[in-house]
């Protein structure tokens, strides 16, 4: 493949690419690494469930946000994201077909919350208010630790940068 050639994929194949990308960040090892970076202690399965419950919607929003930045063709992008959301829901919850609408309502609320935070002006970076939401969701209250905030901001920037580069390799048919 030449540098300027893109891999042609269907919408379903592209949604699968997004799903696999997301999965890299939500497996047990990745969650434990994130917990360590963010200063969150995993002592039991409940703690592991808590970090998964915070990071899954966060990383899904980052995936959607990045797709919205990269893809100009809105209908094609939204079709792919619909398939992606359905894949995540059906593969992560039992009885997902019945729960998909409820699950999407919850995810939509989280997406709106992150979108609004991203639009909040902050002297250092618009990523700071998003990092603050993750901080609060993770710890129950905002941990006033600049290093935690910076690690979350760095994670956001790195995630978006690498996913953007990966997405630009595909031509969705």
What's the Cα-to-Cα distance from 171 to each of 9, 75, 92, 160, 167, rounded to whole Å?
6, 14, 27, 19, 9
- Whether 94 shows a pLDDT value over 90: the answer reads no
- Whether 40 shows a pLDDT value over 60: the answer reads yes
Note whether residue 13 is domain-resident.
yes
Output the pTM of the full model.
0.90
- Whether 96 shows a pLDDT value over 70: the answer reads no
pLDDT at position 3 is 56
% helix, strand, coil for the chain, step of 5: 75, 5, 20
Note whether residue 2 is domain-resident.
no
Note whether residue 1 is domain-resident.
no
Q: How is residue 42 annotated by DSSP?
A: -
Number of domains in the chain: 1
Q: 61 vs 1, which has greater pLDDT?
A: 61
pLDDT at position 145 is 87
Please enumerate in sequence order all residues whose Cβ is within 8 A of that of 129, keeping only pairs 6 or more positions apart, or say none. 117, 118, 120, 122
Note whether residue 77 is domain-resident.
yes
What's the Cα-to-Cα distance from 19 to each of 7, 91, 130, 144, rounded to whole Å?
17, 10, 22, 33
Note whether residue 29 is domain-resident.
yes
- Whether 2 shows a pLDDT value over 80: the answer reads no
Q: What's the rounded Cα separation, in Å, for the pair 21 and 62?
A: 11
For residue 143, give its domain range: 7-172
- Whether 114 shows a pLDDT value over 80: the answer reads yes
Q: What's the rounded Cα separation, in Å, for the pair 132 and 106?
A: 19
Q: How is residue 172 annotated by DSSP?
A: E
Q: What is the rounded average pLDDT for all residues in the chain?
A: 90
Q: Could you give the dihedral angle defined by the CA atoms of residues 25, 31, 35 and 36, in that order, rounded to the nearest 10 degrees? A: -90
pLDDT at position 100 is 77
Note whether residue 44 is domain-resident.
yes
């Amino acid at each position: 493949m030449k540098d300027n050639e893109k891999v042609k994929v269907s919408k379903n194949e592209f949604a699968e690419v997004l799903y696999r990308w997301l999965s890299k960040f939500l497996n047990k090892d990745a969650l434990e690494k994130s917990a360590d970076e963010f200063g969150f202690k995993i002592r039991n399965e409940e703690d592991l469930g808590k970090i998964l419950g915070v990071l899954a919607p966060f990383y899904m929003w980052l995936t959607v946000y990045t797709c919205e930045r990269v893809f100009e063709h809105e209908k094609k992008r939204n079709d792919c994201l619909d398939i992606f959301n359905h894949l995540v829901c059906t593969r992560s919850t039992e009885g997902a077909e019945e729960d998909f609408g409820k699950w999407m309502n919850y995810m939509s609320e989280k997406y709106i919350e992150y979108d609004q935070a991203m639009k909040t002006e902050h002297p250092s970076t618009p990523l700071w208010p998003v990092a603050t939401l993750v901080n609060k969701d993770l710890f129950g209250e905002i941990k006033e630790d600049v290093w935690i905030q910076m690690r979350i901001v760095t994670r956001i920037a790195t995630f978006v940068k690498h996913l953007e580069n990966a997405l630009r390799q595909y031509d969705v048919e």
